[in-house]
Chains A and B, each alone.
Chain A
Amino acid sequence: MAATSRREFLAIGGLLVGFKFGDSAFAPQLLAAETAQTPAPARLDSWLRIGADQSVRVFTGKVDIGMGVQTALMQIVAEELDVAVARVELIMGDTGETPDQGGVGGSTSISAGAKPLRNAAAAARALLIELASARLGVAPGQLEVADGVIRVKGDASKSVSYGALVNDHNLTENLRVSGSGFAVNVEGNGKPKDPAKYKIVGQSVPRVDLPGKIFGRAMYSTDVRVPGMLHGRVIRPSGAGASLVRVDDSAAKGIRGYVQTVTRGNFVGVVAENEWAAIRARDAVKVTWSGVADVFPSDLYAHMRQAKPKASRESGRAEFSRGQKIVEASYEWPFQAHATMGPGCAVADFRADGITTVWSGAQKPHALKQGLAQMLGVDEDRVRVVWVEAAGSYGRAGDEDVAGDAALLSQAVGKPVRVEWSRADMTAWGGKGPAAMVDFKAALGADGRIEALEMIARAFSGTEIIPQANTAGNMLAGQLIGMPNTTEGNEYVQWGASTFAYEIPQVHWAGHVIAPLAPAASPMRAMHLRDPNGPAGTFAGESFLDELAAAAGADPIEFRLRHIKDPRMEAILKAVAERAGWETRPSPKRDLGAGRGIAIALRGGTYVATVAEVEADRTNRAIRVKRLVCAHDCGLIVNPEALRGTIQANLVQSMSRALKERVTFDDHKVTSVDWKSYPVARWADVPKIEVVLVNHPEIAPSGAGEPSSRPTAAAIANAVFDATGVRVRRAPILGSG
C-alpha cells in the first residue's frame, strides 16, 4: 500500500486551501516482496491512475524537500488533464510505487522532473477523449473537458466522466521512454497544452503541505511508527580515522528499556525500547577508541594552497601584457554544514528473509535502495525505500546516512529500528559543503573593459560523497563497517560556461580538486550543500567583478552591463536596480557607514540579480544587512507565491551562510556540534526582503531551488566595500576579521 493521506478543503481567511493530513494510521507500510520492484516508466499507469470517483493519483520519483514543489507538480498534472487541483493526489519517492526519476537535485524538479508527468497526463487525456468519442459517437474535435467530465461542445447533455470511462478501461497503455535518472521522459499520443492556454499553471495555488504542518498534523520521517519498533542512537568515533578498541555497556544495563549495544567494525549503536532510554544508554555506554591526531590541518587555506591536487583541469587562455592595468585578488570560502532543523531520522524494518523497508527523507530514494541492498547483502528487489517528508535537507544532508544506520541496527537486532541523530551527529558528522579558494587576475583596457581574465580555483570536491547513495560505501555506516567509497567524483569550482554571464575576450580557467581531508569515515566528508560550489564561486567572481568596477572607476551595475549581451540578464539587472532604487555611482561611497552592493548569477537557465544594503562600521567591523532585493527569472512561473516564498527563504539562508557559517575543527574532529558552535541567522539578523519575479510564459521553466543562493554573499561583501572602502575576501563575512 502506498503512502496515503486524507484530503480536505476548507476556506480560511478567504483562502480555499487543500489539506493533506498525515496520520500514523495511514503510515506507508510494506509489504510483500513482490511489491518491492520499481514500476517501469513505459506504462501509463506507472505514472497516473484515475479512479471511478474522478480522483487522479500521480506517482512520481520526485520528492518535496520543503519548498512546495509537490503543489507545483499537482498543478501541472491538473492543467493537462483539465481537472481541479483538488482531485490530484501525489505519491512521491516510494521505490515500490513510483518510477525512478533520479530523486531531487540540481533544481531540476520542475525543469526536468515535471516533463514525464506532463506528458503522461497529456497521453491519458488524449486516450480518454478517444474513448469518449467512441462512446458518445462524436468526433474528438467536438469534445471539451471540464473538471474531468468530457462533453460535446454546445450540447452539455451528452457527456461522460473520466471516472466512468476508466471503469471499463484501465490506462495501461505503453509510453515511449527516453533518458534515465533526472532526465527520464515519456511520451504518448497526447500533445501537451500550449502554455499560452494555461489556466492552473501560473496560479498561486496554496501549498497543499502547509495546512497539515500548521495544524500540527503533518507526518515527517520522525513520525513513522511501526509495530514492535525499537529506538536507536549512534555513537560515532572520537575522530576521523579512530578505530574501535573496546565497548563497555555495563552502566547501560541499569537503564530501563535498554536492549543492547551493536558493534560492527567501527560502527557502534545502542538500541532501546524508547527514545529517552536510547539517549541515556548512548551516554552510559563507555567506548574506547584508538587515539588519532594530526588528521586535519590547522590552517585550512594554507593546506589547500600547498596540497598536490588530486585532479586538475583547465580551459581557455588569457594573456597579460605590460601596458595593461592588472587587478588581482584571492577569495576563500569555508566548509559549511547542512545542519538541518531536524537531525537525520529513519526507520528500517529488516525481516528475517531479508525483506526490508526503510522510511526516510532521502532526496534520492531509488539510489538509496541500491546502496542499502548492498550494505545488507540482500537482493535489490527485496528492499523498498519509502520517502517521507523530513526537515529541509538542502542537498545531501543526513537522510541517506541515517537510513544506513537504521538498516544496520535493524539487521543486527531483527526488529524495526528508528534512528534519530543527535544535534552533534547532524552538525558535526553530517556531510559538509566543500571549502574553496579562488585566485583571480584580470587586465582592464583603457576603455574600462575587461580584456583578459584568469581564474584559478582550488576546492574540495562536492562529490567526495556523490548524492546518490547507490553503494554501501557511500554511506557513513558503510564506511564504518569497512566498505570503501568507490564512487568519489571530482567537482570543480567554476564560474564559466553555462554559469558565466559576461562577454570577455580572453578567459583562462584552471580548477584543482583537493583530496579529502581524511580517507574514510570522516566527519569532514564533502558533499552537495544547496547549490554545490555555486555560492563559493559566485562570491569570488562577483566580488572580483566589483573590484574591477572600482578599479575602472565605474558604477558596479553599469560596469557589468558593459560586458553583458544576454537580454534576459540585462532585464533582471535593470529590474533589481529599479526596485532597489539603485543610485548610479562608483563604489565606495563618500559618506561611509552605509552602502549597497550588487551581484548576479546564472544557473541552469535561471537568472538572478541581488542588491544588498548594509550598515557597516569600519572601526568595529559591525555589519548589519538592512535589505536584500532579488530579481529572479526562471522562465515560466508555475506558482508565483510558492516561488516567492522559496526565494525569500533562500535569501535568508544564503545570507546566513555568507555572514556566519563556518565549520570549525581541531586536528581530528569537528568542533561545530550545535547551534552555539555553528551559529546561523536568527531573528535579529534578518533584513527586509524583496523579490521581483520576472515571468516568461514562452520559455520552459528552469530551476528555482538553488539559483538565488548564489549572488547573496558577493552582494553583501560588495555593499560592505561600498560602505567602508574595505574589501571582504573571506567568508563568513562576520568572522573574517
Chain B
Amino acid sequence: MAQISLNVNGKNYRVDAEPDCPLLYVLRDNIGLNNPRFGCGLGQCGACTVLVNGSAMRSCTLPVERAASKKIVTLEGLGTPEHPHPVQAAFLEEQAFQCGYCLNGWILSAAALLERHPHPSEQQIQAAFEGLICRCGSHAQISAAVKRAAERRA
C-alpha cells in the first residue's frame, strides 16, 4: 500500500492503493468514477481509455504509480453538455454508438488524435483506432463523427 497523488479531471486526490494496481480500478473503486470501463483488462479493447497528459492510454494495464502527478482526463472530464468537447458534440450529432460501452476508447482516442493532427489522414486515423474494439459495429457512425469533428475544428 502506498499513498499516491492523482489529478483527475482537474481535481487532486490522494488514494491508498497498491502501486502496481492498474489505474482503472483506482479510478472506479477509490475515486468512485463510473468511467472508464472494464472491457478486457488486457490492453486489447480500449473500453478503459483515459487521457494521461493528453495521450490516450489503457488504464487497465497502466500501474497507478505511473499515473501519479500526471494530468488524467476521463470521458466525464472531457466536456459537459453545456460545454461539449467538439468530438463529443460531433458524436452526438451523428448519433454514433449502439450500446456505447466502448466509447471511452473512440472518443478519447479521437480527441487526442485531433489535438495532435487537426486534419488527420486515413493512416493517422487507422493508427489511432487500430487497437480499439466496438463489438456492436458502430464504426460507420464513428467514422462520420470523426470527420465532422475534424471539420468543426478547421
Contact = CB atoms under 8 A, between A and B. Distances in A.
Contacts of A279: 25, 41
Contact of B38 (A256, A342, A651, A689): A342
A420 B48 CA distance: 15
B68 interface: no
A216 B108 CA distance: 11
Contacts of A15: 92-93
Contacts of A422: 41
B139 to A, nearest CB: 4
Nearest to B129: A683
A674 to B, nearest CB: 6
A211 B28 contact: no
Interface in A259-277: 274-276
Nearest to B145: A214
Given A19-B81, A341-B133, A683-B126, A216 B38 contact: no
B53 interface: no
Interface string B40-55: 1110110100000000
Contact of A24 (B30, B34, B47, B135): B34
A15 B148 CA distance: 14
Count chain A CB atoms within 10 A of each CB in B21, B28, B95 and give the residue with the most: B95
Interface in A332-388: 339-343
Give chain B's interface secondary structure class: loop
A13 B89 contact: yes
B92 A649 contact: no
B95 A641 contact: yes
A203 interface: no
A392 B39 CA distance: 12
Contacts of B154: none
Contact of B18 (A216, A276, A655, A689): A276
A650 B91 contact: no
B61 interface: no
A648 B125 CA distance: 20
B136 A341 contact: yes
Contacts of A213: 97, 100, 103
Interface residues of A, number: 70
Contact of A222 (B38, B42, B96, B134): B38
Contacts of B91: 214
Interface in A202-224: 206-207, 209-211, 213-220, 222-223
B80 interface: yes
Given A274-B29, A649-B138, A211 B130 contact: no
Count chain B CB atoms within 10 A of each CB in A341, A641, A683 and give the residue with the most: A341
A66 interface: yes
B12 interface: no
B98 A646 contact: yes
Given A274-B29, A341-B133, A391-B135, A66 B104 contact: no
A686 B139 contact: yes
Contact of A210 (B41, B100, B135): B100
A667 interface: no
Contact of B81 (A211, A220, A392): A211
Given A342-B37, A645-B138, A648-B141, 12 more contacts: A24-B32, A276-B17, A279-B25, A340-B101, A342-B38, A392-B101, A641-B95, A645-B98, A648-B138, A649-B137, A649-B138, A674-B40
A196 interface: no
Nearest to B9: A216
A210 B95 CA distance: 7
Contacts of B100: 66, 209-210, 213-214, 218
A675 B45 contact: yes
Contacts of A13: 89-90, 92-93
Interface of B: 1, 17-18, 21-22, 25, 28-30, 32, 34-35, 37-42, 44-45, 47, 74-82, 84, 88-93, 95-104, 107, 125-126, 129-130, 132-141, 143
A8 interface: yes
Contact of A207 (B30, B35, B95): B95
23 contacts: A13-B92, A66-B136, A67-B98, A206-B95, A209-B100, A210-B95, A214-B88, A215-B84, A216-B74, A216-B78, A222-B34, A225-B32, A274-B25, A276-B29, A342-B37, A342-B39, A392-B99, A423-B39, A423-B42, A649-B136, A653-B135, A653-B137, A656-B137
A10 B137 contact: no
Count chain A CB atoms within 10 A of each CB in B32, B102, B134 and give the residue with the most: B134
B2 to A, nearest CB: 12
Contacts of B41: 279, 422-423
B45 A650 contact: no
Given A210-B100, A341-B99, A649-B138, A216 B34 contact: yes
A674 B137 contact: no
Nearest to B131: A682
Interface string A3-14: 000001010111
Contacts of A209: 100
A200 interface: no
Nearest to A213: B100
A684 B40 contact: no
A676 interface: yes
B99 A215 contact: no
Contacts of A402: none
B40 to A, nearest CB: 4
Contact of B45 (A341, A642, A655): A341
A191 to B, nearest CB: 33
A90 interface: no
B39 A276 contact: no
Contacts of A76: none
Contacts of A222: 34, 37-38
